[in-house]
Structure 1
């Protein structure tokens, strides 16, 4: 019974890691088309190390680019039954995306609760914190697609 339960949970976990990650990335990509997301992205990026991007793109254009990239990355991750190679590159792109996002946790001035500092995260910081786990799922997808 213990062995059966172990195999069952491993199968469920493996399925959810890959397909849940792809689904979440696609969903977040569709959310990027909303103007409220562009305002949030502008606030987050303008205080961080990649603020130079805003010299070349409006927050709305940047969000649309990110939206299409996220949808593509999510679809690539979901393609493992068809192409391990495409899924591998989707996982690599997701890892890079989450590393970039996590870097804002340490460089943006809007991730900490004003007046408190570490460990009090603002709403922006709390939003980024989930990317630690999503990065882990993306890294697993890369290794699983090799």
Structure 2
């Protein structure tokens, strides 16, 4: 049993670079998939509460929060009136641009497998994007379960009861850590290459 444990320890210690590259590929997949979905109206509609309530991003929209609450399109269903409101708000234009930014971050991160300096930038961009996303836990009311009433049992609502949107946002803690690991690994590779040149 001890030999098996030792073998596993040696395998994992030698596979660190491979796992760091797998992390880069994982971030790439998430970024390209989510970024690509931003061109579809349902995804663009879904990010409106986050953007509209963010002091950093709300200026991208033409309408102010909480007006969007009257024009929500539930996933899988659309309304002509709601979709027109989103066009006037700039919802789709912003979402398309955001999608391109997210896809670009994914590509830059993936390139870190071959180009450490590029990968270092990709890791930092992933960290930055994650910080902005996690700020939604403070600025967006929809990330917590609303109080819809009820008398038995006492309803659980507000902080710390995360809604579906809140649980989605919280997962960016993992993306934040991934970005830091990717940046750290890229920095080590850059410094190791410079040290070899100076010898």
Question: TM-score, length-normalised on structure 2?
Answer: 0.67
Task: Give the number of aligned pairs.
Answer: 146
Tell whether the 8 Å contact from 1:73 to 1:94 is kept in structure 2 after alignment: yes
Whole-angstrom distance in 2 between the partners of 1:117 and 1:16: 37
In our comparison, the structure showing a higher alpha carbon Rg is 2
Aligned-residue offset at 1:135 = 0.8
Aligned-residue offset at 1:25 = 1.2
Q: 1:41 to 1:137 in 2, by over 3 A?
A: same
Moved over 6 A (4+): none
Greater RCO (Cα-Cα under 8 Å, separation 6 or more): 1
Q: Partner of 1:55: helix, strand, or coil?
A: coil
1:29-68 correspondence runs (5 A)? 29-49=35-55, 50-55=57-62, 58-68=90-100
Aligned-residue offset at 1:44 = 2.2
| Structure 2 segments unaligned to the other structure (5+ residues) | 64-88, 148-156, 188-199
Whole-angstrom distance in 1 between the partners of 2:168 and 2:38: 14
Show the counterpart of 1:143.
184
Whole-angstrom distance in 2 between the partners of 1:47 and 1:61: 18
CA RMSD of aligned residues (A): 1.9
